[in-house]
Chain A
Amino acid sequence: MPLYLLPLFPLIGFALLILFPRLFPGRAAGWLGSATVLASFVVAGARYLGQTDTPAHEVLWTWLPNMALNANLSAGFYLDQLSALMALIITGVGFLIHVYSVSYMGHDPKFTRFFAFMNFFVAMMLILVLADSYPLMFVGWEGVGTASYLLIGFWFSGRNSEASDKDLRGASDREGVANSNAARKAFIMNRIGDLGFMLGMFLLFKLYGTLSIPELAARVPGAQVATAGIELACLFLLVGAIGKSGQLPLTTWLPDAMAGPTPVSALIHAATMVTAGVYLITRSHFLYDLAPVASTWVAWVGGLTALYGALSALNQHDIKKILAYSTVSQLGYMFMAVGLHAYSAGVFHLLTHAFFKALLFLSAGAVIHALHEEQDVRAMGGMRKFMPFTHIAALMGVLAISGIPIWSGFFSKDAILAAAYTSSPLLYVVGLGVALLTAFYMGRWYFLVWRGEYRGHVPHPHEADGLIKVPLGILAALATLGGFLNVPAFLGGGHAFDAYLGRAIPVHLHEIPAATEWLLTLLAVAAGVGGLLWALAEHRRRSLADGPLGQISSNALYLDRVYDGLIGAPSRAIAEGLDVVDRGVDGTLAGIARTSAAPGGLFSLWQSGFVRAYAVSMLLGTALILGYWAIKTIGGGA
């Protein structure tokens, strides 16, 4: 099966749904959207099973011909172990979330449009990961950005814009403004990153004369290019990755992106799109391997972002915001890993994170639904009684993200921390601290939502229906067992995942004594268990609603306000100044226009349309000429 089928199926679904929405009454649009993603998943699975060690490179057509240096750029798809894995995640998790959405979005008036956008996203994400060149990857990169923008602002007029109740509609209008602003924020922040990506592409072309990824991979190691050039290109690409993955300093759009529907948060802003930055760096490993400085930057950006996200998540009160900051933090882990050249560990965490974070978001969505759009964790609690199945699924997710043994997060986080330990002890300490904080805020999330007394306003919350339960169950199983894909040697495993990915990406295995490995593992587990116990203790003391750091954490370390002060306020001041100038210019021009129009009006009085008035003008002219002549004659005669 050719690779182009992968993005083609969802694209067809998108085209049908956006062009002929009336053909799909009821939930048909949801089923069509899910079916196209399932078809892509089948193709991806078939290609995965039939995969050899040689990467598949299927050229479609010559895209940008006759470029300089005789470097024709073709549009084509490239499937190696990394992109095959990404395609499986995107289509697999994507399909589950589509099915979930059929129920979750079932009552939304824009049901069909939602699935059109979701299909568009899946198609673009597949183009991104399968692209054989940076420009084609950029097409997908922009495509997912567009889809993200459309879906964050999906409720751009609020969820109750049609409500008859005035207060409800007013609240809906305010919500619509907030949603639209969140979408804009994501779009604009991503533009900054895109600029970096483009500059990186330009520089790479200047240095190597090609942008095709396989060609670059072959050309870069042997090329005589100044290290500074590679470093700079890698830093530019890092800017792109930072924008897309919501890393510091461009992180603030990601928490706001939770304004979109919950399945969007799960698919785009947790499992797939935001990991595009990690994918980009991993894909460019042949560059980063030669750029130690840029790699260090990547690692430190990741470490600091992990810490930032964890600290910000400590005292959030929105059930989705906690998960959003957690995503920021976990993405930081991935960046840390790929920055330390532990690509396999980073991608493995990407995989497990896709499972457990999607699971957590989807169960949060189920809770939000059961409580009639309530998102404040302080108005939840005790949901275990009402939604036992969802509770179990969410618990699996919490254990996975906290790094409790046998759950998937344990294995992936452990691998990252081990890599950090060998490369940079300081980063290791940061990572370990973040692990503790992660366990704590996720424990806080768990206890506030699921345990304790029910504090909600809905009398009898209902368990989710089957369409929601099935994806939750599958994801819970994957989040629990996914870690066994890559059991490290000291635990008797065979590094199966590393070995698989190692056929495409060099795996720099660190030789650590088994004893040290055991120690590191114990410390990590201790951090996870300690965080959960800390949360439990706070829960017992009923002081969990107010997390540590108080307002500082609630306001995400005031980063938004810092940006507003540094960039927003000066921009507004400049804009206001320009506005004054503009008004002045406009006023002057209007004055000039009025001044010149006035005599014109006087002349237009002359054009009265009365033929006799014109005759008067004629007479006066004639009299003037003859009178002048007569006076001249008298004067001449005298």
Chain B
Amino acid sequence: MDIFLQQLINSLSVASVTILIGMGITLIFGLAGIVNFAHGEFLMVGGMVTWLLVMAGVNFFIAMFGAMAAVGVLGYVAERTLFRFTLNRPMNGFIMSIGLSVILQNVVIKALNEVQKSIPDPIAKVWVIGGVDIIAMRAIVVAITVVVVAITYFGITRSRYGVALRASVSDQDTAALMGIPVRRYVTGVFIYGSVLAGLGGALMIALFPITPFTGSVVIIRGFAVSLIGGLGNVGGAVVGGLVLGLVDALSAQYGYPQWTDAYSLVVMIVILILRPQGLLGGTLGPRAT
């Protein structure tokens, strides 16, 4: 049982990174209507920026904010120079984003190299709670994710900006008639989702080494998470991340761990067949009337 608990907490920290990337995708896809297949590379860039800063002697937690800012700027530039022109043709945007992901991968390989990068444990403590060894950094990753999820959830459901955002998603024209600058909200959501990818990258490199190819692995899980939960639904991304985390934990303990990704995708397929709108239900992106 103790081993299972440890495994569960380890899985929760991995699930946290998955939740962050899934939440970014779910917001950008479900609310801004943009399918950004380069979102995984955004996370990878966040991890690389963290690595560069930490190697330059910057404290990890400051480097984490640096990664969020850098990927936020990357998202802003990508939205203003690329995705803004494909808003009415999401399929074109999707294809373009595949190109963007290849470019980002190769730019990173050119600028650095293909070798995997890691940083020393930012906090190398182990807490023992009730006989269970908890690696401190993993607990901190979970805690940061919980805070970010809470901020995002209440921001969307309670704040004035969240209400305006949801109004823009359900009916662009009528939202504009309320005086809501719909375009600016689309840009804002894209930047916010990108910042989450930057944070995910920083937290990921705090847990494991990453390579320039990490993005293409996490993007599949990210889309799985957002589809399992329901597009545009923050709670859904959390549920989706936890479902995949649980599958990870169980397969690592009781199944064949090398099949983890296959289990996750089978779970996604089964859920989408039974509930096409996702477990918690989602949007279909902004619609013009």
Question: Real complex partners, A and B?
Answer: no
Interface residues of chain B, those whose CB is within 8 Å of chain A, are: none
Interface residues of chain A, those whose CB is within 8 Å of chain B, are: none
